[in-house]
Amino acid sequence: MPAVDATIPTGDGASWRSLRSDRVLVWAAVAGVGWLAMYSALTSVAQDSHALTLFVGDVLYLVPIAVAVVLSVPAARRSRGRVRRAWRMLVVSNALWLVGEVIWTLYAFLTPDGAPVPSAADAGYLLSYVVALPALLVGLGVQGWLGRTRGLLDAALVAGAGGAIGWQLVIKPIVPGAWDAAAVTTFIYPVFSVSIVSVLLAVLLSGRQRVPRSILVAGVAFGFAAVSDAGYAYLSALNAYTDASWLNVGWEAEAVLLSLGALIATRSAEGGERQPQTAGDTAILPALVAVLALAGLALFDLVEGGALGAATTALIVLLFMGLLLRQAIAARDRTHLAQQLRLAAITDSLTGLYNRRFFDQMLASEADLATRQRRPLSLILLDLDHFKEVNDTYGHSAGDAVLVEAANRLKRSLRADDVVSRYGGEEFIVLLPATDERTAVDLAERLRLELGSTSVTIPSGDQVRLTASLGVATADPSHQIDVDKLVNAADKAVYQAKARGRDRVAGSDLCPLRELYGKPRLPRELVWIADRIDAMLSDREHSAAIARWSMRTAARLGLDPATQYRTAAAARLHDIGKIGISRDLLAKPTELDESEWEQMRRHPQESARLLTEIGDRPDLAPLVAAHHERYDGTGYPEGLAGDDIPIEARIIAVCDAWSAMRTNRPYSPALTECEAREQLERSRGSRFDPNVVDAFLALVDEGDIDEAAPLGEVVEDAEGTGEARRSALMRGQPSPIVTALI
């Protein structure tokens, strides 16, 4: 026999054709029919034998109920969403039913008259129904208190009408004049089972969502229970029910169908996602059934007695109260649905941001308003870097997680009046009303930093670094705004950002970024630490020289002014994490052992921590943290490779290596310019970015890479202003913050 798949591929629920193709389910159904045939035959034989009656009606009877309990457990584990929640409740319901039946069996064997009514067995039966009814509501997709209340009302209307008819026509003529606990208990059973079936019918008639197959089978099971419960109530009123009753076959059918439903949920791993509403409120049919039933009862009373009976009058009052309440709930439900539909029309289903259609409408409206009021209007277009690699490497579920997290970070960083939308696959766009170019660039930089602040944890548990290329465009408020040109300008700016190395802000015709950002402000305490570390390593400047060279290399590569200044600032403080390493280890003339290397490898991350927690410069932290990454991916601390390493860090790595090679250190004499050049060229494409090496060496050839000056001399400072800078070691004592760090 061919192997059978462990589960059936399914969407909302496995189709009947798919279920019929599963041999396990087919054989289970055949076994269930066989069991019912066998049980029916044994019931027929047991009528004349007390011992056989006990065996068939009380022992054998328990088998399919126990099977239903056992099979419900994997159904609750393997199914998903609302179907899983439903089967978890049905596990409890089936277990309570089994407990009640076991108690009934014990009474049958231990007492001559069997179980009294009511008894502990009845508690198990009734509690089983109490749990089963909300379980069916959950499994059918009746969501929220409004939906569940409405479903319960539909069920109550039908069950109440059916119960009233059954009472008036069948039960009332044969019950004693006074009610007792046994009569009440017996009559409750069919009310519960009919209520459950009514819920199923109400949902099927409404057409509001697809019913999962396992839940549908469970609902049919309670239909068999409703018939048997009604018969039990009738026979109990006549004192004619026995353990060998044919009614037991109906309850056995219920247990068989519950077992089969659990098996369907297990093997098809049903998810039970709710569908949008596609049909009208045809669930009014249960109310119509109740109205017609009570109208019939009223007519019966009038014909028989000439006036409405007290019970019929009370039922009619309750009916109209139920109908009014149901109508109020239905009205609120429709209002809520209309709001959901309006929101769905303007939002992206994955990220919850506005969609492109809504953005285009808002852009046209704001452009018209900006033109009339002569006020600026800006856009930020954002494209996530290397997003395709995330999908290709980890799958589309990981890509979705990245998009959702990116959307959340954007929403956190924007102002109340800004409009952010998902513009394409991995593109987002932000509309900035009454925002000039300078403010837009500042906001774009803030968004860039927020996106890259921490890695994103994807469903597999892996960490994905999130960066983006951002383009800024601002419309001239003195002319009619052309929205197409404005969007195209932002799009071109994104391409500029990508061409310059990604993870940056770019713009077409932006005002000079130096005016926007000014000279980078570096915390004096951290500059003091940088110079203190330089003094531990040699008598010549190190970080200041690397800052100058890095800025010139960035300019040579064609990077924008903001990136040039950011590169210089990060280079100036790239080694501050070494403050926690002893002077003896920093100046050790021999090769380091593994534990010593472990200490040294921590300094990039420690530098990043100090910049974030002490220096209030989190924008520099990822650049400093990555300056020991290698272009081939063999560096530390994260093992980043290629363009995943920020371009600023790739520049600092080359300049840092040049400084180390050209300066006498305790562990290494200085190399000549020719030797150092040869080392850089040999490491192109492995340790260093080839483009950065070429740009740096071109500056060397042109004489733009000066020699590192002795500490304490006046040199051009890292920002290129030409101001005098004297070693921090000669400017007195550091602040208390630095003293505490050291």
Using one digit for the tens of pLDDT, what is the confidence trace for 414-426?
888 899 999 988 9
Q: What is the Rg, in whole angstroms, of the alpha carbon atoms belonging to the chain?
A: 39
What is the distance of C-alpha 177 from the center of its chain? 60
pLDDT at 430 over 90: yes
pLDDT digits 0-9 by tens, 187-213: 677 666 666 666 666 555 554 456 788
Q: How far apart are CA 147 and CA 30, in angstroms?
A: 37
Confidence of residue 6 (pLDDT cuts 50, 70, 90): very low
| Average pLDDT rounded to a whole number, residues 23-32 | 89
Q: Lowest mean pLDDT: which of 73-87, 110-124, 395-409, 645-659?
A: 110-124
Q: Look at residue 8 in the predicted model and tell me its pLDDT.
A: 39
Q: How far apart are CA 550 and CA 527, in angstroms?
A: 17
Q: Look at residue 5 in the predicted model and tell me its pLDDT.
A: 39
Confidence of residue 517 (pLDDT cuts 50, 70, 90): very low
Q: Look at residue 357 in the predicted model and tell me its pLDDT.
A: 87
- In terms of phi and psi (left: phi > 0; alpha: psi -120 to 50; beta: otherwise), the region of 22 is beta
In the chain, count H helices and then E strands. 29, 7
| Residues recorded for the chain | 742
Phi and psi torsions of 429, nearest 5°: -135, 140
Which residue, 576, 513, 516, 565, is CA-closest to 543?
A: 576
In 573-602, alpha helices (H) = 583-586, 594-601
Q: Look at residue 342 in the predicted model and tell me its pLDDT.
A: 65
Q: Lowest mean pLDDT: which of 161-165, 277-281, 532-536?
A: 277-281
Which residue, 170, 105, 93, is CA-closest to 134?
A: 93
Choice between 151 and 363, residue whose per-residue pLDDT is larger = 363
Q: How far apart are CA 280 and CA 497, in angstroms?
A: 51
Which residues have C-beta within 8 Å of that of residue 344, sequence separation ≥ 6? none
pLDDT at 402 over 70: yes
Q: Give me 600's structure tokens.
A: 């040294």
Query: Which range, 223-237, 326-340, 728-742, has the best average confidence (pLDDT)?
Result: 223-237
Q: How far is CA 23 from CA 3, 263, 264, in A?
A: 10, 12, 12
Choice between 742 and 316, residue whose per-residue pLDDT is larger = 316
Q: How many CB atoms neighbour CB 108 within 10 A?
A: 19
pLDDT at 555 over 70: yes
Environment class of 358 (CB within 10 Å of its CB; exposed 0-12, middle 13-18, buried 19+): middle
Mean pLDDT of the chain: 77
Q: How far apart are CA 697 and CA 689, in angstroms?
A: 12
Give the H or E element holding residue 500. Answer: none
637 upstream amide cis, omega within 30 of 0: yes
| Average pLDDT rounded to a whole number, residues 410-438 | 89
Q: Look at residue 692 in the predicted model and tell me its pLDDT.
A: 94
Q: Look at residue 272 in the predicted model and tell me its pLDDT.
A: 44
Which residue, 458, 490, 465, is CA-closest to 385?
A: 465
Q: Is the dihedral of CA 301, 307, 309, 314 positive or negative?
A: positive
Q: Look at residue 549 in the predicted model and tell me its pLDDT.
A: 92
pLDDT at 102 over 90: yes
Give the H or E element holding residue 474. Answer: strand 468-475
Choice between 310 and 469, residue whose per-residue pLDDT is larger = 469
Give the H or E element holding residue 159. Answer: helix 144-166
Give the H or E element holding residue 460. Answer: none
pLDDT digits 0-9 by tens, 652-682: 999 999 988 888 766 678 889 899 999 999 9
Which residue, 45, 128, 134, is CA-closest to 82?
A: 134
Question: Residue 393 in contact with residue 343, Cβ under 8 Å?
Answer: no
pLDDT at 9 over 50: no
Q: Give me 102's structure tokens.
A: 């076991």
Q: Look at residue 337 in the predicted model and tell me its pLDDT.
A: 57
| Average pLDDT rounded to a whole number, residues 64-86 | 90
| Average pLDDT rounded to a whole number, residues 455-469 | 87
Phi and psi torsions of 363, nearest 5°: -65, -45
Query: Which range, 395-399, 597-601, 608-612, 626-630, has the best average confidence (pLDDT)?
Result: 626-630
Q: Lowest mean pLDDT: which of 104-118, 304-318, 427-441?
A: 304-318
pLDDT > 90 in the chain, percent:
23
Q: Look at residue 200 in the predicted model and tell me its pLDDT.
A: 64
Q: Lowest mean pLDDT: which of 85-99, 128-142, 516-530?
A: 516-530
| Average pLDDT rounded to a whole number, residues 301-320 | 66
Q: How far is CA 713 from CA 82, 388, 571, 645, 707, in A?
A: 73, 50, 19, 34, 13
| Average pLDDT rounded to a whole number, residues 336-358 | 76
With both helix axes pointing from N to C terminus, report the angle between 673-682 and 690-701 in degrees, rounded to the nearest 10.
160
Choice between 491 and 291, residue whose per-residue pLDDT is larger = 491
| Average pLDDT rounded to a whole number, residues 583-604 | 80
Q: How far apart are CA 611 and CA 53, in angstroms?
A: 84
Q: Look at residue 442 in the predicted model and tell me its pLDDT.
A: 85
Confidence of residue 579 (pLDDT cuts 50, 70, 90): confident
Q: Give me 345's structure tokens.
A: 């029309």
